[in-house]
Chain A
Amino acid sequence: KQEVTQIPAALSVPEGENLVLNCSFTDSAIYNLQWFRQDPGKGLTSLLLIQSSQREQTSGRLNASLDKSSGRSTLYIAASQPGDSATYLCAVDRNAGGTSYGKLTFGQGTILTVHP
C-alpha cells in the first residue's frame, strides 16, 4: 500500500526566503506526482504535475523535482511572499501498466506561513 509522507508538517519563514518542502513515497511504481496548494476552507489548486519519466517541472517561482527510484520529491519556492502562505500537499498516482491508475494518494501536507 502506497504511503506518502511530507516533512516538515509546518514551516514559518520570513518573506524573501527560499524554501524546500519534502515529499516521500513508499512505492516507486508511480504514474505521476502532483503538488497542490490549499488555502484555509478552500479546495485544492494544482501547482505542478511531474510525469514519472521527468526529473523536474518549473512554474514561475516554483520548481518541483522527482527522484522516483528513491521515492522523493521536493518543491522549491523561491523568494517567498506572504501570499504563498497555505497548506502544500503532494499526491502520487499509481502506475497501472503504463497508464494512470486513477486515484491519488496524498500526504498530510505542510502548513507554510510566510511572515512580512
Chain B
Amino acid sequence: GAGVSQTPSNKVTEKGKYVELRCDPISGHTALYWYRQSLGQGPEFLIYFQGTGAADDSGLPNDRFFAVRPEGSVSTLKIQRTERGDSAVYLCASSRLRGLSYNEQFFGPGTRLTVL
C-alpha cells in the first residue's frame, strides 16, 4: 500500500507568485493535515480536514494561504503572493477516522518551497 505522497518535492518560485502544493493521502484515510516546518524547528500545524471540510484552519498564518479538499481525498495547499518568509518544508499527513484508531498520523515526504 502506498503512503502519503506530495508533489512537487521541490518548488522554487519568485516573490509575489502563486503556488499550489498537492497531497495525496493514504487510501481510506478520512483525515488530512497540513504542517509547515522551518529549518531546525518541529512542524507547525496549518489546517486539518475531516472529509471535504476544513475542521480546523486556525494555523493558517494569513489570508494568502488557502487549502481545499473537494472530493475528500487529494488536497491542495494554495499560497498567493508568496513572500520570502513562506520558504519552508510543507508536510502533509493523513489518518483514519478519529475514534477508530487513536488517530496515528502518517506523513508524506514534504514539499520544499523556496521563495527567491
Contact = CB atoms under 8 A, between A and B. Distances in A.
A109 B59 CA distance: 20
A43 B99 contact: no
Given A42-B109, A43-B110, A102 B44 contact: no
B42 A102 contact: no
B52 to A, nearest CB: 15
Contact of A4 (B42, B55, B91, B110): B42
**B-side interface size class:** 20 to 34
A26 interface: no
A99 B97 CA distance: 11
Interface residues of A, number: 26
Contact of A91 (B42, B48, B99, B106): B42
B102 to A, nearest CB: 5
Contacts of A46: 104-107
B43 interface: yes
Contact of B56 (A41, A99, A102): A102
Interface of B: 4, 6, 31, 33, 35, 40-45, 48, 50, 55-56, 59, 91, 93, 98-99, 102-110, 112
Given A100-B99, A102-B103, A109-B42, 12 more contacts: A4-B42, A43-B107, A44-B107, A49-B104, A89-B43, A100-B98, A102-B31, A103-B48, A103-B59, A104-B33, A104-B45, A105-B45
